[in-house]
Amino acid sequence: MRGIPHGDRDLPRVALTFDDGPSADTPAVLDALARHGAQGTFFVLGAVVSGRAEVLRRMRAEGHEIANHGYAHDRLAHRPLKTLREARRTSALVQRAAGVRPRHFRAPHGDASVATIAAARLAGLTTVAWDVDPRDWEAPGAQAIAERVLIAVRAGSIVDLHDGRGHRQGTVAALDLLVPVLRDRGLQPVTLRMLLGR
């Protein structure tokens, strides 16, 4: 896994990021973030943007960041031309749907090589990884997801969650458990742009 793994450890901020959407569960994720006044970053797949422009516009309107997760969730390490094509295609789809151009990229599966990162940079994107992985894609339940985050998270952390490619009700419920605790610890959930000072 390559890319920026975390932000400044001296600033009391964390980034909650969501991969693989938008999906039918994304509005519930947005509702949960809204309940707690928290911002997130959504790494969207180009292949599922069609027909979900309203959700992307809501993300933007509510202060979240829309980022690029490639087009079809294929592994992209050592495939720079495919990375460049997918990154550009997805950014164009997001621009048309939400009127904003992504600035950050995360390779599907976190499978990025030096060539992948360079190709994303050619598409105008900075590659971001994570340092907290609660493996919510395993659907272990809200309590386990929240506990896994809270055990590992610290100032500057980038948390890798998911809002697509499976049922994400556990992730939604986990947000209600973990965001208040983050706040109690003095950690503010912000977008990647805010976390990384971009």
| Options 20, 73, 162, 163, the catalytic residue | 162
| 19 is annotated as an active-site residue | yes
Quick one: 115 exposed, middle or buried, by C-beta within 10 A (0-12, 13-18, 19+)?
middle
Q: Residues with Cβ < 8 Å from 5, sequence gap 6 or more?
A: 129, 130, 131, 158
Residues 12, 155: contact at Cβ < 8 Å? yes
Residue 167: Cβ-neighbour burial (10 angstroms; 0-12, 13-18, 19+): exposed
Using CA atoms of 137, 140, 143, 146 in order, give the dihedral in degrees to the nearest 10. -30
**The one catalytic residue among 19, 20, 131, 136:** 19
Kindly state the tokens that stand for 114.
């030096």
Active site residue 8: no
Question: Tell me, what amino acid is at 196?
Answer: L
Which amino acids are annotated catalytic? 19, 162
